[in-house]
Chains A and B, each alone.
Chain A
Amino acid sequence: MLAGIGIIETALAEQTLPSVKVGSKKFTENVILSEITTLLINHGEIPAIHRKQLGSTRVLWSALLNGNIDIYPEYTGTIINEILAERGLAGEIEEALSQRGIQMSKTLGFSNTYAIGMKAETARRLGIARISDLRNFPDLKFGFTHEFMNRKDGWSGLRKYYNLSQLEVLELDHDIAYRGIESDTIQVTDIYSTDADIDYYSLVILKDDLHYFPDYHAVLLYRTEFANRWPNALRAMLQLEGHISESEMIKMNAQAKIKKIPENQIASQFLAKEFGIHPKIHIETITDRLLLRTREHLFLVAISLTGAIILSIPLGILSFKRKKIGQIVLSIVGIIQTIPSLALLVFMIPFLGVGSQPAILALFLYSLLPIVRNTYTGLSNIRPEIRETAQALGLPSLPRLWLVELPLASRSILAGIKTSAVINVGTATLGALIGAGGYGQPILAGIRLDDMGLILQGAIPAALLALLVQGFFDLAERYFVPKGLRISQNP
């Protein structure tokens, strides 16, 4: 109980303490840039926190717009083609951005353009050096990231521009795509020009001979409101302009991805070398990380599940007592359940921003159905003779529910709660995608860094927690299901 209160207190503290919030996309370079930015601001004695790997452009941009984060690193090409184009804003980038209360730094010093890459060996063998050459090989399998598949300056544009005829195009995660290339399941993928994996996997970048891809200068996007409120932080942060060279960036990416050096260490080394400052960084041990993730995960699960129980049992009772309302209630919670979890999470962002709140709401919504349905069926399965006898005794409907019907449905209700809890523990790992932390965080980082150990640091505790929850409910049955029901099987 005390632990529970502690968790809530820390979470609240994090919400209320004024600090600069830096976000990052879910790829390594972006995480490193945000880490550097955060440390630099922190160094000026201004509290700043880094919300790591929140998701893709869409998530970060809306988080920035609604003030969930103050700053994140972006690329000019993405701003022009993806963010502004979608909103039909023309004219100067700065002006278009400032209309939305957003400002942009100068380039940080390097350009990370989208590029098309393949294994050097395959390219040599087939004699492919330019994107145009791909036209002669319609059988090559392409594997592109979700983002590249869906953005205007991505695959659909590229295909038209270069008149490519590939039919077989897989849509996969950036880091998975590299493994696909490695195993020859796919031959061509989209890559970032500063990506450390280019060397690591011995890839070549195909020449953009028709100049399709625009420049992708790295910049920092930040809220005007932030600039006004924290001028010192802004000044500190803008020191980065023009200070990161392409080779520097490639080196840092390689350190993270290949040497598995923690991002905050890479960032602090960079700051030491470039600005002669030595920010204090906290080197996380496995235990630190595990404790933190466990706390975050339990926080998500405990709040959403408690809320779901409090709402679902009355909803199940209502559904049982009023069949017409019941049908509506059951179909609504049923429909919620069919929304893919990722979609539901992302759907929450415009309303609740990023972080634990939207994750808790999504988990809460997911936990409703099993409990509502099991409360309803538990009550419906009580033999009519028993229900009538309770009525015939002259018990009013509330005590009837409390003394007879709910105890008889208890086994079913508890089973529903158990199902919800187990689903909840599993789904909560997705919360990391929108910055809610939890066991999903090491899993995401592990996928990003191709680090199986890190993935397991999230996956194993998540699985153990699910087992623990199951065990807990098996024990709880002894307390909540009346003894008489455990003797006889049919209520």
Chain B
Amino acid sequence: MQILNSVFEVKGISKIYDSTQALSCVDLSVPSEQTTVVIGPSGCGKSTLLRLMIGLARPDTGKIYFEGTEITPMNALLLRRRMGYVTQTGGLFPHLTARKNVILMANYLGWEKTLIEKRLLTLAELTQFPKDGLQRFPAQLSGGQQQRVALMRALMLNPDALLLDEPMGALDPITRYDLQNDLKGIFHKLRKSVVLVTHNIEEAKFFGNQMVLMQAGRIIQQGTIHEFIETPADPFVTRFIKTHRGPLEIQKGGDA
């Protein structure tokens, strides 16, 4: 039952870079049409996991299935077109305008012009990106705007899954706050399968129905925030979810 409803099936994958064991024997099932948040301290292997899922790198051992198909070097190119990928700083192509960035793939695939324009406008509306910004180059956009363009680009081909690697990691707090709200709305509206990587527990709580906690290349626990609090798999889980200081805690510290 669970297998039918999952978009990604990750089976026993390991990945070693030179001497670093980036991932060791990771199993993961990513449910469809939900947001799964991958959290963990930096260097624990979150980005590596995402890069393997989109086929940018090959696992040393194990297999990854996307919608039931094993990802191989042969089919990765085509499977990727059914996934959207956004990185920490967006990865926009600096030589292309926002518009050209977004429509690059559709153009390449020979979509009809009117269809492309229609899709572009829908996305700009969805991501609340100002239309006059479409003619600008990435260097002429703010960090938040760049991430909205990156999201539009990832959504252009209407993929089944979205893979977002700390998409708000490089933004200032206010911009991040706004984008978090907008993203959550978008995810809800589109009902896409989303994998969101963050190292921020607050952000994880805000987005995630499903949370995956990683440490040193392994998955420590997978479940809801309540399961993390009530039945922690490991003392690290408890420690990690307590790292956040709420405003009250700061006040308490000030009083003492």
Contact = CB atoms under 8 A, between A and B. Distances in A.
Nearest to B153: A393
Nearest to A411: B95
A392 B94 contact: no
Interface centre among A404, A482, A491 (most CB of B within 10 A): A482
A397 to B, nearest CB: 9
B85 to A, nearest CB: 4
Given A389-B87, A488-B139, A408 B95 contact: yes
A127 interface: no
Contacts of A393: 80-81, 85, 104-105, 153
A242 B104 CA distance: 81
A487 interface: yes
Interface of A: 383, 385-386, 388-396, 399, 403-404, 407-408, 482-485, 487-488, 490-491
Interface centre among B104, B138, B153 (most CB of A within 10 A): B104
A344 B39 CA distance: 62
Interface in B116-149: 137-140
Contacts of A488: 94, 137-139
Given A394-B78, A404-B93, A488-B137, 6 more contacts: A383-B91, A388-B51, A389-B91, A403-B108, A484-B139, A487-B140
Interface centre among A390, A393, A408, A485 (most CB of B within 10 A): A393
Contact of A394 (B80, B92, B97): B80
A268 to B, nearest CB: 63
Ranked nearest first, the 3 interchain pairs of A and B with the lowest CB-CB distance are: A488-B139, A389-B91, A482-B95
B108 A392 contact: no
Interface in B137-179: 137-140, 153
A408 B83 CA distance: 25
B interface, how many residues as a size bin?
20 to 34
Interface in B69-114: 77-78, 80-81, 83, 85, 87-89, 91-97, 104-105, 108
Interface class of chain A by DSSP: helix
Interface string B34-47: 00000000000000
B204 interface: no
Interface string B44-62: 0000000100101000000
Contact of B91 (A388, A399, A407, A483): A388
Given A393-B105, A394-B81, A491 B51 contact: no
Nearest to A410: B95
B97 A484 contact: yes
Contacts of A392: 54, 56, 80, 83, 85
Contacts of B87: 385, 388-389
Contacts, number: 74
A484 B91 contact: no
A389 B97 CA distance: 16
A348 B92 CA distance: 49
Contacts of A482: 95-96
B139 A388 contact: no
Contact of A385 (B89, B105, B108): B89
Interface centre among B95, B104, B137 (most CB of A within 10 A): B95
A484 B96 CA distance: 6
16 contacts: A385-B88, A386-B92, A388-B51, A389-B87, A390-B93, A392-B56, A393-B80, A393-B85, A395-B104, A395-B108, A399-B108, A408-B93, A482-B95, A485-B95, A491-B94, A491-B95
Interface in B21-42: none
A388 B87 CA distance: 10
Contacts of A490: 94
Contact of B94 (A391, A399, A408): A408
Contacts of B92: 386, 389
B142 to A, nearest CB: 14
Contacts of B83: 392
A394 B94 contact: no
A396 B109 CA distance: 11
Given A385-B87, A395-B105, A487 B93 contact: no
Contact of B93 (A386, A388, A394, A399): A386
A115 B31 CA distance: 98
A490 B89 CA distance: 14
A436 to B, nearest CB: 40
